[in-house]
């Protein structure tokens, strides 16, 4: 269990891309007051059968996405977005049955997992826009758009998995799994336009309200069957071959002020994979894999229509959105010994009909129905987007890691990731997404031989990269380049005392040691910096 109360944090000062903060700045709405609970109850029915019940709960009071006063960023006070989450309640209960040593014709062991979870949360957007004077000499007029959303997602799921040993040291794994999501939404929005004059009546208010949900209530069902066989091919070579059938259905339910005709969706597919492993030496394995996959659009991608949760955009529903499929390749090597490790893997994923967020041009917005254009204008949105399928996307990259454990308790390690993405063929000019192409991280850790204390240093670096923009996408607040940043951290922990199975320990953390101004999500339409230099102390009791 945990109970946490955190105040709004402060960012560092400095520059990040085109933005500059002369002093430390309060990042509003980043504080949180939350509680969590986790419990496990296990029951051995006999020496072959075990039941396990797990429950997890999370409760959070009001928090927010966070923002810095735009005046401090030199942007003036003409536009402000506040995104807050008044509450979030999450509960998950899972029941597991594990059976072993069955010695049956169909299975030697069996695992059954059933779960139920509910995620209930509220989202508020408060958008203020200074639209300037309506004529020379008049005071500035303004638009304020307030929206309140409550969504509940309830999920029931089941997975069964059987294991059967076959001749020649083969291991057959097969099973069924499925889940059902039930989504319900309520929305309320109020838009107030204030027209100001330098003479009586000095101001006029136009207030409009809307209670139409941004997405219809919906049910999403997915179920599948899978089969996998591990096949040794000699002493050093092993192949794992698998296949899976998956069916997905989304049904829009009757919802006030919604015509759900034609919004239902159904798709299915068969995918497969082949994984190869060759033991070149006692410590070195060569690996390779090929596989296919498919993903159906989720409820938000397919059915959402209205102001986006990020506050600055408006999403247009796309009833023609279809599933994306992919073909995936991996090749690499893994070296392991007791005191060292090294891994390097090249990967590529080709997505057909890939789902991306596309930005509508001014001409496309002008072609929308008049009532939709009016809703967009009333929302205060700065941009209009739609989820669309593009012909083909390619993600390609390399992941590598290396490490060494000295006999006196010191461990050093590093990892590097390079990722690139592009469109292959087709006519769409939209980019894939903004992301850092290169990420490098390293650590140095000492563990006392007694096991009573440890100390650690970590560093991570994101290399700079160009911001790839849709022709209709506005320039990010940070500019046309994703800036590089390097973050240093220190940590230490000590076991204070132990009594039987009970252990009391203290952990100290110092993050962002160099007090650098940076943001993890730099491609958003507004800038939310991460915390400046900060310190954390944790006291933990284990039973």
Q: Give backbone dihedrals phi and psi of 204, rounded to 5 degrees, phi first.
A: -130, 140
pLDDT score at 278? 98
What does the CA dihedral 70, 74, 79, 81 come to, rounded to 10 degrees? -30
Q: Model's pTM, two decimal places?
A: 0.86
- Kindly tell me the burial class for residue 455, based on how many C-beta atoms sit within 10 Å of its own C-beta (0-12, 13-18, 19 or more): middle
Domains in the chain: ranges and CATH: 217-433 (2.40.170.20), 435-543 (no CATH)
pLDDT score at 353? 93
With H, G, I as helix, E, B as strand and everything else as coil, classify residue 299: helix
The Cα–Cα gap between 511 and 514 comes to 9
pLDDT score at 311? 61
> pLDDT 10s per residue in the chain (543 long)?
889 999 999 999 999 999 999 999 999 999 999 999 999 999 999 999 999 999 999 999 999 999 999 899 888 888 888 999 999 999 999 999 999 988 888 999 999 999 999 999 999 999 898 999 999 999 999 999 899 999 999 999 999 999 999 998 899 999 999 999 999 999 999 989 999 999 999 999 999 998 999 999 999 999 999 999 999 998 999 999 999 999 999 999 999 999 999 999 999 999 999 999 999 999 999 999 999 999 999 999 999 998 887 667 899 999 999 999 999 999 999 999 999 999 999 999 999 999 988 889 899 999 999 989 988 887 778 889 999 998 888 999 999 999 999 999 999 999 999 998 888 765 554 556 656 789 999 999 999 999 999 999 999 999 988 877 777 777 778 888 889 999 999 999 999 998 888 899 999 999 999 999 999 875 455 688 999 999 999 999 887
pLDDT score at 426? 59
pLDDT score at 120? 97
**What would the DSSP string read from start to end of 224-274?**
EEEEEEEEE-SSSEEEEEEEEEEEEEEEEPP-TT---TT--EEEEEEEEEE
Q: Which two tokens stand for residue 162?
A: 């059987």
């Amino acid at each position: 269990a945990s109970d946490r109360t955190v105040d709004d944090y402060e960012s560092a000062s400095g520059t990040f891309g085109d933005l500059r903060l002369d002093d430390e700045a309060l990042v509003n709405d980043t504080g949180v007051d939350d509680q969590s609970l986790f419990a496990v109850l296990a029951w051995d029915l006999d020496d072959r059968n075990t039941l396990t019940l797990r429950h997890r709960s999370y409760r959070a009071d009001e928090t927010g996405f966070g923002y810095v006063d735009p005046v401090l960023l030199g942007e003036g006070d003409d536009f402000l977005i506040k995104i807050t989450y008044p509450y979030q309640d999450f509960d998950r209960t899972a029941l597991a049955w594990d059976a072993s040593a069955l010695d049956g014709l169909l299975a030697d062991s069996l695992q059954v997992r059933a779960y139920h979870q509910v995620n209930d949360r509220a989202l508020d957007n408060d958008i203020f826009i200074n639209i300037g004077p309506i004529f020379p000499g008049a005071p500035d007029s303004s638009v304020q758009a307030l929206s309140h959303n409550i969504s509940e997602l309830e999920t029931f799921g089941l997975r069964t998995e059987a294991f059967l040993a076959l001749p020649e040291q083969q291991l057959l794994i097969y099973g069924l799994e499925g889940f059902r999501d039930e989504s319900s939404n309520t929305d309320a929005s109020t838009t107030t336009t204030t027209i100001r004059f330098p003479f009586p009546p000095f101001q006029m208010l136009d207030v409009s309200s809307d209670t139409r949900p941004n997405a219809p209530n919906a049910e999403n069902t997915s179920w599948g069957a899978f089969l996998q066989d591990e096949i040794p091919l000699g002493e050093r070579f092993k192949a794992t071959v698998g296949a899976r059938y998956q069916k997905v259905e989304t049904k829009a339910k009757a919802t006030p002020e919604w015509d759900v005709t034609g919004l239902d969706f159904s798709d299915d597919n068969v995918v497969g994979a082949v994984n190869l492993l060759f033991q070149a030496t006692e410590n070195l394995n060569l690996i390779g894999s090929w596989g296919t996959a498919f993903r159906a659009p989720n409820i938000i991608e397919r059915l959402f229509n209205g102001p986006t949760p990020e506050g600055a955009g408006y999403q247009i529903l796309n009833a023609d959105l279809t599933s994306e499929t992919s073909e995936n390749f991996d090749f690499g090597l893994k070296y392991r010994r007791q005191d060292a490790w090294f891994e390097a893997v090249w990967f590529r994923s080709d997505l057909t009909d890939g789902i991306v967020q596309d930005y509508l041009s001014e001409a496309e917005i002008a072609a929308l129905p008049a009532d939709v254009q009016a809703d967009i204008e009333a929302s205060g949105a700065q941009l209009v987007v739609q989820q669309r399928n593009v012909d083909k996307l390619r993600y390609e990259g390399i992941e590598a890691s290396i490490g060494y454990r000295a006999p006196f308790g010191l461990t050093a390690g590093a990892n590097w990731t390079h990722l690139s993405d592009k469109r292959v063929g087709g006519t769409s000019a939209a980019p894939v997404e903004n992301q850092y192409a290169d990420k490098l991280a390293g650590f140095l850790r000492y563990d006392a031989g007694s096991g009573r204390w440890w100390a650690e240093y970590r560093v991570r670096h994101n290399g700079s990269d160009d911001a790839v923009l849709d022709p209709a996408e506005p320039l990010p607040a940070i500019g046309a380049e994703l800036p590089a940043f390097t973050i240093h951290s220190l940590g230490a922990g000590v076991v204070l005392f132990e009594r039987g199975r009970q252990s009391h320990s203290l952990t100290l953390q110092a993050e962002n040691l160099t007090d650098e101004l940076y943001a993890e999500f730099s491609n958003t339409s507004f800038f939310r910096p991460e915390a400046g230099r900060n310190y954390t102390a944790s006291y933990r009791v284990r039973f």
